Amino acid sequence: MAETLFYKILGAHIVEGKLAAGEQIGIRIDQTLTQDATGTTAFLLFESMGAGRVRTDLSVSYVDHNMSQFGPENHNDHLYLQTIAAKSGVYHSRAGNGICHQVHLERFAKPGVMLLGSDSHTPTAGGIGAIAIGAGGLDVAVAMGGGPFYLACPKVIGVKLTGQLPDWVAAKDVILKLLSILTTKGNVGWGVEYFGPGVATLTVPQRATITNMGAELGVTTSVFPSDEQTKKFLAAQKREKDYKPMAADAGAIYDRLIEIDLSSLEPMAACPSSPDNVKTITEIAGAAAKQIAIGSCTNSSYADLMMVATALKGRKIDPTVEFAVAPGSREVLNMLAANGTLGDIISAGARILESGCGPCIGLGFSPADGVVSLRTFNRNFAGRSGTKDDKVFLVSPETAVASALTGKITDPREMGKLFGIQYPKIEQPAEFIINDNMIEAPLSEKEAAKAEVIRGTTIVVPEQPKQLPADLKAEVLIKCGDKITTDHIMPAGAFLKLRSNVPEYAKVVFHCFNEKGKPSFAERAIKVKNEGKGGVIVAGASYGQGSSREHAALCPMYLGVRAVIAKSIERIHKANLINFCVVPIELTNQDDYEKISQGDNLRIDGLVDAIKGKDEVKIVEEKSRYEIIGKLNLSGRDREILLSGGLLKYTLERANKKVGKTGKTKR
Ligand code: MIC
Ligand code: SF4
């Protein structure tokens, strides 16, 4: 049968289960990536497994998120990650070398591999023909130890691209268009595969912008074929040997088909405060934009910044605008420095930020109260910029630079009329400047045996979950609405530096919902825990959207949360809940959501028995006695993990069983 590219790559890596939509499958992982904000926990858990050296073909640890270094926490993390990487057989990309996804695309990703990363934008590597999936740190730790990654085999949406992008219309507009069609809700269990004649017109970095922001759809991942464009990109990275052509078979059948004619697209923006609140620039043009930032793993490639530099050459940004540019990697920065175009950006009035995540995750460059901030990033969840009630619009670099010159949201197609600027068609260089001296190779096994790991005082091994009670008695600690993101659950920005210290970080769970003068979520949770009860979080649809941060499960678990009851739960977050032994329960009847209030006392009798083999649980409120039926949408392995007390204990139990049988550890 004619196969999709998605299934070809999954099929080549399957070690358990059947390659059919909806089936639970185990996949062998070739490469992993971790970044510092999720990586410290991932490595601490990897160490707790006693795995020693990694068993993948390649694992890379990046430092790109926490680089502001107010206080010792960030540098403590860097030193721990550098030394544990060297010891465990992992490559280490140092602070300043660039954003993990950009650097991985440039230096490591290749067609046909399976990449698992502890960051939700890992699908960036789908731009080069890899199946690249975001997951929680603990899942990545298991993969580093040689364990398979388990997932529900996705159905595949085929996106047929035809035509060619018009001048000033960008790859960002392609993914914004798709977000306007599919939205951020309801795409769990799907993957996206691009095909059709329009594919050949897009370069690898353009494709990577599209697969990167595919994360916002909530799909498992997105993938492009590997073709002449891929070969050209790899050759320019001096990695032509990593090239192999890959595509779907002719006549492959997709579970759903969407067609996008690239020629018909126009510049677009995701308006506050969701990536799917998409409007065309013509609809919103003219509003004053006092802050503009170009960067992030979505849009900070060489071609993006060359286009920006060419448009800015000899010009000055509007004096009402604060304008920042963060090149995605040191390779990009070096290229711009060497060809002199960095000077054009600086002379026009841009502030050059470090090659890292920075403002994308609210680390600096927060906008003033009430001003419009245009960003080329991928997420504009309320408050993520570090400013409450922010007005962040997500746009292409083309729209961003046009608006920087006028001070207003501006359609870049006006650039000719306004400034006499023709669209700069940027050619990919035949060779990038390759300099890997900020990527450290791991120590040999012999050297590693003697090597010390540096552990600062702010690095605390996370507590493991307690076993689930046979019958759960729990209080509803919070009732929240639809599309609650992991940024709502665990704020980043100024709090990001607490990632390596769960007891401290747990104090700010649901920080954005805390009210002055009232007990915080954490205080309420601790009170309930001290009364000997469990805690429950109640939510609407698409709970846990956004990042892969497992702290959104780990910190509530630390505060005594034992279950989440929601209309629906997003893929990565659901897996993280299970990994930390918090039971994900989805409402059978969505209207039952209305019955529940904060402070209700719920009973789930026979919870453990239900996890052992039932698909539903009965939830009873103790006072008013309302009854609700909750779905346990769990695979057999999910059930075993919950019954073991979380993924770490489950993994250790299985490893011990193998030692028992064979006398030596096999994982
Ligand atoms: C994000 O973009 O939200 C992050 C910060 O990169 C997260 C990872 C994290 O929270 O550390 C992600 O996308 O997974
Ligand atoms: Fe970093 Fe932003 Fe990309 Fe997340 S989305 S990896 S914070 S640049």
**What domains are defined for the chain?**
5-264 (3.30.499.10), 272-419 (3.30.499.10), 472-653 (3.20.19.10)
Ligand 2, atom 1: closest residue by C-alpha = 357
Whether the predicted pLDDT of 659 surpasses 80: no
How much distance in Å is there from the Cα of 293 to the middle of ligand 2? Answer: 14
Q: Amino acid letter at 441? A: A
Among 62, 102, 184, 361, the mutation site with the greatest number of ligand 1 atoms within 8 A of its Cβ is 361
Whole-number average pLDDT of the chain: 97
Whether the predicted pLDDT of 662 surpasses 60: no
Looking at per-residue pLDDT, the higher value among 312 and 665 belongs to 312
Of 180, 262, 176, 247, nearest to 212 by C-alpha is 176
47 to each of 41, 50, 112, 462, how far by Cα in Å? 10, 5, 29, 12
Distance of alpha carbon 408 from alpha carbon 171, whole angstroms: 22
How much distance in Å is there from the Cα of 284 to the middle of ligand 1? Answer: 29
Ligand 1, atom 12: closest residue by C-alpha = 547
- Give the pLDDT confidence score for residue 666 in this predicted structure: 38
Whether the predicted pLDDT of 665 surpasses 60: no
Q: What is the position in ligand 2's atom list of the atom closest to the CA of 360?
A: 2
Per-residue pLDDT tens over the stretch 461-513: 999 999 999 999 999 999 999 999 999 999 999 999 999 999 999 999 999 99
On whether the pTM is more than 0.95, the answer is yes
The residue from 13, 65, 121, 413 that is catalytic is 65
Could you tell me how many helices (H) and strands (E) the chain has, helices first? 23, 27
Confidence of residue 53 (pLDDT cuts 50, 70, 90): very high
How much distance in Å is there from the Cα of 120 to the middle of ligand 1? Answer: 6
Which residues, listed in sequence order, are joined to residue 601 by a DSSP beta bridge? Answer: 475
Whether the predicted pLDDT of 667 surpasses 50: no
- Give the pLDDT confidence score for residue 502 in this predicted structure: 97
Residue 363 CB–ligand 2 contact under 6 Å? no
- Provide the greatest CA pair distance for the chain: 76
Ligand 1, atom 7: closest residue by C-alpha = 547
How much distance in Å is there from the Cα of 492 to the middle of ligand 1? Answer: 8
Residues 6+ away with beta carbon under 8 Å from 562? 468, 469, 472, 474, 534, 535, 536, 581, 582, 583
Q: What is the position in ligand 1's atom list of the atom closest to the CA of 119?
A: 14
- Give the pLDDT confidence score for residue 660 in this predicted structure: 65
Residues 6+ away with beta carbon under 8 Å from 470? 606, 607, 608, 609
- Give the pLDDT confidence score for residue 655 in this predicted structure: 85
pLDDT exceeding 90 applies to what percent of the chain? 98
Distance of alpha carbon 27 from alpha carbon 474, whole angstroms: 36
The residue from 13, 101, 330, 379 that is catalytic is 379
Q: How far apart are the first and last CA of the chain?
A: 34
Residue 298 · residue 331 · CB < 8 Å: no
- Give the pLDDT confidence score for residue 493 in this predicted structure: 95
Task: Report the pLDDT averaged over residues 647-663.
Answer: 81
Distance of alpha carbon 259 from alpha carbon 196, whole angstroms: 9
- Give the pLDDT confidence score for residue 288 in this predicted structure: 98
Residues with CB under 6 A from ligand 1: 37-38, 65, 119-121, 134, 361, 492, 546-549
